[in-house]
Chains A and B, each alone.
Chain A
Amino acid sequence: MTSSVERSFSDRLLSVPRPKAGELVLTEELGPGGKRIVMVVSLLSLLIVAYSIYWMYGRLGEPTRLYPKGQYEPSLWAPFKQGTTWKFLWQGAKLTLAAAGVGTVFAMIIGVLMASLRHGGQTRKRSYALALLAGSIALVIAAGVLTSARIAALVAVACLIIGLVFFSRQSAAAYTEFFRACALVTLIASPFRFLQVSPFWSVVLGLTLYYSTTIAEVIRSALRSLPKGQTEAGLAVGLTNKQTMTTVLLPQGLKRALPNILTQTASLLKDTSLGFVVTFRDLLTQSQGAAKQFDNYFPMLLVCAALYITLIGFINFTATRLQRRSR
């Protein structure tokens, strides 16, 4: 195929995607009849898309009881000309970004720890690990019933740390599997309800608990995809298990996992919007509040969606770029 400059419009319209590695070839090179069919359907679909845009444009302008110009009524868009509206939205965006940023950092730290412990940590007898697990569950429940939720949380953290020290692999596996199975909404609501922490930290904690497990899984699969020779070579030159992990395996594994980690980060940013269950005043809640005040739900929520798509699209764009570069 020649360069795209020389290709005519119809050529470009017709071009069957050149299959990348691992993709199926579903069509033959098109003959004259096939080209005609594809051409007609292409033009038809373009027409349909154009018509639906035109229809939507008209639909938005249709007069309603309150607004003679429909959604093009200037009063609906006037709030966006005021700095205060943007300031109000920015307050929400700031909290969204802050929660996502802090959550990502925590989730990364715990995720790397859990992945490396689960990949290269020590295992002991299964019965001992199960006994420790049962004991710590009983201890946490007892602490919760007898004292306060805060003390129960502290006991849980202490049990986890003890488990990670003595049964690193099994404890990391238990942590990952448990929190991965939890619904994120309940994880976000729990700290707020039980520990009376602020909405912000409640969201951060919930996101951290959930996303540390997904990030741990992403990193662990990257670690597993490394050739076995890497570990063996590290041990052969006299590094300890821990040194092999930190100086040989983790740097390579993290590099491989980076695009997937970024995807998780984008998903984490999206899920900050679940903070409404703990009255977290994020971008969505703020735009909702502003829309209520100005009574311009449709424009305001569109702007809100556009802001989200910009933020998340940026992260996804970076992820794709990184993925392409690392190949």
Chain B
Amino acid sequence: MRLVLDNLPLLIKGLLLTVRLTLIACFFGLVLGVILATLRVSPIRPLRLFATAYTNFMVNIPIAVWIALFYFGFPKIDIAFRSNDLGWDNFRSGLVAIAVWVSAYFAEAIRSGINAVPNGQAEAARAIGLPFTKVLGSVILPQAIRGSILPLGVILNATYRNSAAVSFIGVADIVNVTLERGDTLVAYAQFTLAAFAGYLILSVVTNAGFLALDKRFAVKR
């Protein structure tokens, strides 16, 4: 217990890194996901096919492989995610990999949110003469996103845990820090429990937050 308390600043730093990584990735992932979901319901066939292919491609390859590809593979063709001139930054590679990966999941969640909006809404919007962009942008999507707050929360929660895969490229997130400290100080139990507790805090806070958001924003039907 004392060992954990002594290393508390380090652990909190790791936890905050996980949080930062996940939140930034999920922000960009959500933006990309909304675009992808729009493409998937659009009347333009090539765009629909593209979005479907993208989703299947992302979802069927493990996140660890994506992270490895973004960190080890892409710099070889000079697509590197640099934060400065010193070299490629593993945090950024992991961030981009997680963002493009999670966007597929967000797209799926929003698409099922779109399908959960009652048909009458779309019919009414079309009846008053709105074009497709307006039907989707100002009638359906707002309701769809407000209706899929809880699934989005589930994805955010899953991303907190899956982001642990960035340990593979040596980002000092909570898992990496606890494993490394546990190895150095030969105190596996304490540090594994610390990682456990860290994730538990994250998931409890996220769940509570999204339940509150859902209560506040979800369309009551």
Contact = CB atoms under 8 A, between A and B. Distances in A.
A151 interface: no
Interface in A18-66: 22-28, 30, 38, 41-42, 45-46, 49, 59-60, 62, 64
A239 interface: no
B161 A184 contact: yes
A183 B117 CA distance: 33
B43 A16 contact: yes
A42 B161 contact: no
Nearest to A316: B60
A24 B115 contact: yes
B119 interface: yes
Interface size classification for chain A: 35 or more
Nearest to A296: B76
B200 to A, nearest CB: 7
A298 B179 contact: no
Interface in B38-90: 41, 43-48, 50, 56-57, 60-66, 68-69, 72-74, 76-79
A301 B73 contact: yes
A64 B80 CA distance: 14
Given A45-B44, A313-B60, A297 B76 contact: yes
A12 interface: yes
Contacts of B135: 26-27
B62 A270 contact: yes
Nearest to A275: B64
A185 B69 contact: no
Contact of A194 (B74, B160, B168, B189): B189
Nearest to B121: A24
Contacts of B78: 59, 62, 64
B62 A183 contact: no
With most chain A CB atoms within 10 A of its CB, the pick from B60, B72, B192 is B60
Contacts of A38: 43-44
A312 interface: yes
Most buried by A among B45, B79, B179, B189: B45
Interface size on B, as a range, is 35 or more
Nearest to B45: A13
Given A62-B78, A185-B164, A291-B72, A25 B123 contact: yes
B89 to A, nearest CB: 17
Given A25-B123, A186-B195, A41 B44 contact: yes
Contact of B182 (A25, A30, A41, A193): A193
Nearest to A17: B48
Contact of A284 (B65, B77, B161): B65
Nearest to A67: B76
A182 interface: yes
Contacts of A312: 60-61
B41 A273 contact: no
A22 B199 CA distance: 37
A13 B49 CA distance: 11
A42 B46 contact: yes
Contacts of B136: 26
Interface in A271-314: 271-274, 276-277, 284, 288, 291, 297-298, 301-302, 304-305, 308-309, 312-313
26 contacts: A14-B45, A25-B126, A26-B41, A26-B122, A26-B132, A26-B136, A27-B43, A42-B44, A45-B47, A62-B78, A64-B76, A64-B78, A185-B164, A185-B167, A186-B192, A186-B199, A189-B195, A270-B60, A272-B62, A274-B165, A276-B167, A277-B164, A284-B62, A304-B68, A308-B60, A309-B60
Given A276-B167, A313-B60, 7 more contacts: A13-B46, A49-B46, A181-B200, A181-B203, A182-B199, A266-B60, A284-B68
Interface of B: 41, 43-48, 50, 56-57, 60-66, 68-69, 72-74, 76-79, 114-115, 117, 119, 122-123, 126, 132, 135-136, 140, 160-161, 164-165, 167-168, 175, 179, 182, 188-189, 192, 195-196, 199-200, 203
